[in-house]
A and B are shown apart, each in its own frame.
Chain A
Amino acid sequence: MVGARGTVAAILLFAIGAAWAQDHAAHAGGKPHPQRFALGSSAAVDSSGTIWAVHVNGGRVAIRHTGGVGQSWSAPVVLSEAEERIEADGDARPKIAVGASNELYVTWTHPLAKPYTGEIRFTRSIDGGKTFSAPVTVHRDRQQITHRFDAVAVSQRGQVFVAWIDRRDAVLAKEKGETDYRGAALYYAVSDDRGATFRGDFKVGDHSCECCRIALRPRSDGQMDAMWRHVFEPNVRDHALAVLAPDGTVTDLHRVTFDDWRIDACPHHGPSLVADGAGTLHSVWFALPSDEAGAFYGRLGEGRVDGQRKLGSAAAEHPDLAAAGDMLAVVWKEFDGERTQLRAMTSSDRGQTWRDQVLASTGDASGHPQLLEAGAGFVVFWNTRAEGLTLTAVPR
C-alpha cells in the first residue's frame, strides 16, 4: 500500500532518477560512514611559541599542541563530555585564546535538541594545558534558543571576553507579536578571574546576522573591538563594529563595510579584524552584492573603507588575516575545479602594496584557514581531510 508519504517519496525519487538512486544506494545503504574528523578547528600561540589547536575528534572537543611548523602534534586531550554534541562546521567551530601567563581558554557551541539552538560552553587550563576545568555554560540565559557562534579573546588587562549570537530579543519580539525583528542580537560576558566565573550577559546590539563568526580584537585600552555581520535596514548584511568595555558598556556601534549586500540569506561567512603597529584597523570579509564580488580586504576608516580589494578569483572564500608592526598577511582558500588552493597575500607597508602567493593545496575537504603570528613570522593553520592539521609558514 502506498500512502501519502509513499507517494511523495515516489515523486521525489522519480525526479532524482532511478539510475542515480541505485548508484547511490550502495554507499547509502546503512553502512556507517567512516569516523569523521570534523574540520571546524582553531589555533592560538602561547608566549613560548607553542601552537595549540582545538578541533573535534570522534564527536568531542580535543586539544593538541606542537612546537611549530614541521614538528609533530601531541596526542589529543579530550575537553568536552561524551554525551555533548558539538558544532564544528564552517564558522561554527571550537575557539581558543591564550592569556598572558599561557592560560588556555576554549569555547564551543553545544547544539540543543531544537534546531538552531545552542549553548556556549567554556573550559580553561591555568597550568599550561596539563589539566582543564569541567566545561561550564557561559551565559546566564538558559532558554532553548540560539546562543551560538562563540568568540573568545583576552583583553590587555587579562580579562576573558566571550561573545556570541543570541536570539532572546527576537523571541521576545515575536511573543509581543512583532514579526519584523531583523536577525538576532550580539551578547557577551567577561571574566575577571581567568575564566573561573563570568559576568554577563551584556548586550552589544540588536540585528546581527544569525550565522557568521564574530571577530574580537583586544584594544590597547583594555576594551575589546567586536566586528560582525549586521542586518542594517531593510536587509543589508554589511558589517558593524563596536567597542565592548569589561563592565558591559558598549560604545561606538557603527557600520564599517559598505557593500550594500541586500539579502535575506545565511552567508555563514564571518569577518576577521586586526590592527597594525600604527593602530589602523584592517579587515577581511565576505559580501556578494554582485556575482563579481566575494572575499574582500580593506582598512576600516571613519564611514569608509580604504584600499578595498577583492581577494583572488570568484571562488575565493573564508579569508583571515594577521598583522605585526608594518607587516600584514591575508590568507584564503579557493577551489579551482580540481583542488582547493591555500592562497595568501602579504604586505610590508601596512597594506599599501601586496604580493600574491600560493601556499599549498589539498585534494579533499578542508576547514577555514587561520593566520597565526608565530615566532618571527606568520603561519597558516589549516585543517584538511587528507593531510590533517597543517601548519604552513608564509614567506615574506
Chain B
Amino acid sequence: MKLPRIRSWVLICLALLAAQAQADSRLLPFDARSPAALRQANAGRPFVLVFWSVHCAPCFAEMAQWRAYRKQFPGIPIIQVATEPLDESNAILSVLDRYDAGTTGHLAFADDYAEKIRHAVDPKWRGETPRVYFYDRDHKRVARSGAMDPEWTSRWLEQQSR
C-alpha cells in the first residue's frame, strides 16, 4: 500500500527525534490515552495491537511469528505492548532480548494502574494475554485472546494488505 510520501517522512523524522530523546529507554509508554492516539496516527490504515506479559509463555512462543509478519506486511503496523509497568523494564527487556532481539519501538504499560489502561483499550478485556486487536482500515476491530491462530492471522493480514 502507498503512503503519502511527504507526510510520512516528516513524521518519521519527528519520531526519530522523539526516539533519540528516549535513547536510554528502549520501551515507550502505553497509557490510557494511547489507544486513541494510535487510531489517530493510523487513520485509514489497518494495524494490529498485541498485548503480552512477562508471565505469559504462549506470548513468548509467538514473538518470532510477529517478527516475521512485520517483515512480510510492512504496510500494517504491528504494535506490541507489555502489560507490565515500564519500571519493570528489566524483566520486559530480558524477554525481548531473548525472543525479539534488535527490535526497538516496543511499548509497555506506563504505570501499574493496569485496569485503567485496559479499560481505555477495551472495557471487556480482563487482562489475559496474549490479547490481540486487529484493526481494519475503518478501525473496526476484532479482539482475540490466547495463542495465535497463524492461519487466521495470515489470512487477515493478507486481506488487509490488498
Contact = CB atoms under 8 A, between A and B. Distances in A.
Interface string A198-226: 00000000000011000000000000000
Contact of B56 (A27, A111, A265, A364): A265
Nearest to A167: B57
A267 B118 CA distance: 14
Contacts of A85: 90
Interface residues of B, number: 73
A337 B32 CA distance: 11
Contacts of B33: 20
Contact of A337 (B25, B79, B107, B123): B123
Given A28-B29, A265-B147, A335-B115, A8 B11 contact: no
A279 interface: no
Given A13-B105, A33-B87, A266-B55, A21 B119 contact: no
Contacts of A13: 12, 15-16, 18-19, 28, 105
B124 to A, nearest CB: 5
B113 A211 contact: no
Interface residues of A, number: 60
Find the residue from A23, A39, A115 having the highest chain B CB count within 10 A.
A115
A8 B16 CA distance: 11
Contacts of A294: 126
B79 A365 contact: no
B77 A11 contact: yes
A15 B47 contact: yes
A182 to B, nearest CB: 11
A268 interface: yes
B138 interface: no
B128 A265 contact: yes
Contact of A36 (B29, B55, B87): B87
Interface of B: 8, 10-12, 14-19, 21-22, 24-25, 28-29, 31, 33-34, 37-38, 40-42, 47, 53-60, 70, 74, 77, 79, 84-88, 90-91, 94-95, 98, 102-107, 110-116, 118-119, 123-124, 126-131, 145-147
Interface of A: 4-6, 8-25, 27-30, 33, 36, 39, 85, 89-90, 92, 111, 113-116, 210-211, 263-269, 286, 288, 291, 294, 314-315, 317, 333, 335, 337, 340, 364-365, 385
14 contacts: A5-B102, A8-B104, A13-B12, A13-B16, A13-B28, A16-B79, A24-B29, A25-B21, A30-B24, A30-B25, A265-B58, A266-B58, A288-B126, A385-B113
